[in-house]
Amino acid sequence: MANKTALIVSAHSADFVWRCGGAIALHASLGYDVTVVCLSYGERGESAKLWKKEGMTLDVVKSERRREAENAARALDVHDIEFFDLGDYPLEMTREAKDRLVGVMRKVQPSFMMTHSKYDPYNTDHMYLSQWTLECRAIAQAWGHNPGEKVLGAPQVYLFEPHQTEQMEWKPDTFLDITPVWDKKWAAIQCMEGQEHLWHFYENVAQNRANHFARNSGGQSGGRAAKYAEGFQSIYPRTVDEL
Phi-psi region of 57 (alpha: psi -120 to 50; beta: other; left: phi over 0): beta
132 residue type, one letter: W
Mean pLDDT of 161-173: 94
Whether 240 has a pLDDT exceeding 90, the answer reads: no
Question: Taking 70 as the threshold, does the pLDDT of residue 67 lie above it?
Answer: yes
Answer yes or no: is pLDDT of 52 > 90. yes
pLDDT mean over 130-142: 98
Which burial class, exposed, middle or buried, applies to 65 when counting CB atoms under 10 A from its CB (0-12, 13-18, 19+)? buried
Looking at residue 2, the DSSP 8-state letter turns out to be: P
Q: How confident is the model over 78-113, as pLDDT tens digits?
A: 999 999 999 999 999 999 999 999 999 999 999 999
- Kindly calculate the radius of gyration of the chain based on its CA atoms and give it in whole angstroms: 18
pLDDT level of residue 223 (50, 70, 90 thresholds): confident
Hey, is 230 helix, strand or coil? strand
What is the percent of the chain where pLDDT is above 90?
A: 92
The proportion of the chain whose per-residue pLDDT surpasses 70, expressed as a percent, equals 98
- Cβ atoms of 175 and 157 within 8 Å: the answer is no
Is the model's pLDDT at 1 over the cut of 70? no
Interval 159-164 mean pLDDT: 96
* Whether 41 contacts 51, CB under 8 Å: no
Q: Report pLDDT for 222.
A: 67
